[in-house]
């Protein structure tokens, strides 16, 4: 029996802000963003969007295609949770019209937790072959205005159906894991923007990559040269290049693995969406599936990183025919349909983001589900 990703679908916010605009107002060369960190745009959520509405938009096509039979677990991975107690997947459960006989939960560890969710899901499917698990990664990445992380903000969601005999990716059983208690990036409960020690975070990401890779190999993982591509967590797409160069140096010093052209197909979506935290590595994977050549039968590597910090390296083999499962045009149309906003509107929305008490939101989203506002401390969602 093989287990892995049977279906995958993504969504992003309805607004877009160009980094050229940010650079112009900061009076700096846009090359720092376009080439230096490898980002051209950031997706932003409309007033009536959040992690739940993006998750619903990403997951709806999966439910539409596969129905709900055997779906008994939904795991929602996020680091931009909307309630301290109630799991975001409980809201999603109603919006997707899922049956009552489903367990739903939310998991957290910075950008890493969607990978933990996939591993938990594989465990469930291995015990109960007829069950399927919906894993959602959805996040809004926010930093302070004028901070080092500002240009790396973004918003996005990826939904994945985990099952046996998957149609997209068979996930191999070996994983390499790494954890260290560090302060590279964190978000205290009283803040909606993250705090970050930017350069240090890059250093810890690379240490974690090396640690997870060594653990992967120690547990019988495949050789680096056997991977057709590696998908990295992409806080900004240039980070994947740094990761690939580090890994090639320790794992394949004389080979061609350091060739960064091999990353090109994995960065297309993230360069336009920005950091989507938990969703970022799976958007890199979707970018490869949608924009890369047919790699049926080839091994793909995954390096998942979450600040704080946890890393995991694992591999999977693309299932022949996977290209026929994709919804490439839908995501590309969603990206093209985002409403561009200028610098002043971007700043205004950033400052107005945190609202307290009861309020109603403006009708702005392009999606079928909207966050309508807050009434008596309860978040209201409506489908249309
Ligand atoms: P910075 O310090 O302002 O930028 O921000 P810099 O001066 O280091 O420049 C960036 C790169 O652009 C450099 O290249 C420059 O040389 C180049 P590098 O040395 O890195 O190869 N550059 C130019 N290139 C072409 N033309 C130009 C030009 N000017 C400069 N004109 C920093 C960089 C990463 C610190 C910032 O973006 C930041 O704070 N980001 C947020 C933190 C982050 O993304 N960390 C990544 C690792 S941690 C992680 O991945 C976890 C995370 O996703 C959260 C989670 O887990 O939940 C963040």
Instruction: Please tell me the chain's helix, strand, coil percentages from 3-state DSSP, rounded to the nearest 5.
Output: 40, 30, 35
Q: Does ligand 1 come within 6 angstroms of the Cβ of 110?
A: yes
Q: Does ligand 1 come within 6 angstroms of the Cβ of 305?
A: yes
Ligand 1, residue 79: give the atom nearest the CA: 57
- The mean pLDDT of the chain is 97
Query: Which tokens go with 308?
Result: 């704080």
Q: Does ligand 1 come within 6 angstroms of the Cβ of 149?
A: yes
Q: Does pTM surpass 0.75?
A: yes
Catalytic residue among 41, 47, 79, 109: 79
147-194: pLDDT as tens digits: 999 999 999 999 999 999 999 999 999 999 999 999 999 999 999 999
Q: Does ligand 1 come within 6 angstroms of the Cβ of 346?
A: no
- Residue 112 CB: number of other CB atoms within 10 A? 28
Longest CA span, the chain: 63
Q: What are the backbone dihedrals phi and psi of residue 178, each rounded to the nearest 5 degrees, phi first?
A: -155, 135
Say how far apart CA 378 and CA 371 lie, in whole Å: 11
Among protein residues, the one with the nearest Cα to ligand 1's atom 46 is: 202
Q: Are 34 and 196 in contact (CB under 8 A)?
A: no
How far is the centre of ligand 1, averaged over its atoms, from the C-alpha of 198 (Å)? 7
Ligand 1, residue 28: give the atom nearest the CA: 31
Check pLDDT > 80 for residue 247.
yes
Buried b (16+ CB within 10 A) or exposed e, 28-48: eebeebeeebbbebbbbbbbb
Q: Given pLDDT bands bounded at 50, 70 and 90, which one contains residue 204?
A: very high
How far is the centre of ligand 1, averaged over its atoms, from the C-alpha of 51 (Å)? 25
Q: Does ligand 1 come within 6 angstroms of the Cβ of 243?
A: no
3 state SS of 38: coil
pLDDT at position 209 is 98
266-300: pLDDT as tens digits: 999 999 999 999 999 999 999 999 999 999 999 99
Query: Which tokens go with 349?
Result: 């929305």
Pairing of the two strands 359-360 and 369-375: antiparallel
Residue 109 gets which letter from DSSP?
A: B
Residue 79 appears among annotated catalytic residues: yes
Say how far apart CA 52 and CA 58 lie, in whole Å: 10
Catalytic residue among 41, 111, 131, 170: 111
Q: Does ligand 1 come within 6 angstroms of the Cβ of 38?
A: no
How far is the centre of ligand 1, averaged over its atoms, from the C-alpha of 229 (Å)? 23
Q: Given pLDDT bands bounded at 50, 70 and 90, which one contains residue 256?
A: confident
- Residue 342 CB: number of other CB atoms within 10 A? 12
Residue 111 appears among annotated catalytic residues: yes
CB burial class (10 A; 0-12, 13-18, 19+) of residue 155?
buried
Query: Which tokens go with 70?
Result: 């055997």
């Amino acid at each position: 029996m093989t287990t892995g990703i049977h279906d995958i679908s993504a969504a992003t916010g309805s607004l877009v802000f160009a980094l050229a605009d940010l650079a112009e107002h900061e009076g700096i060369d846009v090359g720092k963003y376009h080439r230096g960190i490898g980002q051209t745009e950031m997706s932003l959520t409309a007033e009536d969007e959040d992690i739940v509405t993006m998750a619903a938009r990403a997951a709806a096509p999966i439910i539409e295609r596969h129905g709900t039979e055997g779906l008994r677990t939904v795991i929602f991975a996020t680091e931009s949770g909307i309630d301290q107690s109630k799991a975001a997947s409980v809201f999603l459960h109603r919006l997707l019209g899922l049956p009552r006989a489903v367990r739903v939960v939310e998991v957290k560890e910075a950008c890493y937790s969607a990978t933990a969710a996939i591993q938990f899901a594989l465990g469930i499917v291995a015990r109960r072959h007829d069950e399927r698990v919906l894993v959602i990664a959805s996040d809004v990445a926010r930093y302070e205005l004028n901070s080092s992380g500002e240009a790396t903000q973004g918003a996005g969601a990826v939904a994945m159906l985990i099952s046996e005999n998957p149609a997209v990716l068979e996930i191999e059983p070996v994983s390499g894991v790494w954890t260290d208690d560090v302060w590279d990036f964190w978000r205290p409960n009283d803040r909606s923007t993250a705090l970050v020690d930017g350069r240090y975070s890059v250093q810890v990401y690379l240490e974690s990559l090396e640690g997870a890779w060594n653990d992967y190999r120690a547990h019988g993982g495949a050789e680096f040269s056997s991977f057709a591509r590696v998908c990295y967590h992409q806080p900004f797409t240039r980070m994947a290049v740094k990761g690939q160069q580090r890994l090639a140096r320790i794992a394949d010093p004389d080979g061609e693995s350091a060739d960064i052209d091999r990353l090109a197909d994995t960065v297309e979506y993230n360069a336009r969406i920005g950091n989507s935290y938990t969703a970022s590595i799976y958007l890199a994977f979707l970018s490869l599936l949608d924009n890369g050549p047919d790699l049926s039968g080839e091994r793909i590597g995954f390096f998942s990183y979450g600040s704080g910090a946890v890393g995991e390296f694992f591999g999977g083999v693309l299932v022949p025919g996977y290209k026929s499962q994709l919804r490439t045009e839908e995501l590309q149309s969603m990206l093209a349909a985002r409403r561009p906003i200028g610098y002043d509107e971007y700043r205004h929305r950033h400052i107005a983001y945190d609202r307290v008490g009861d309020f109603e939101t403006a009708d702005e989203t392009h999606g079928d589900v909207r966050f309508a506002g807050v009434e008596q401390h309860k978040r209201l969602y409506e489908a249309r």
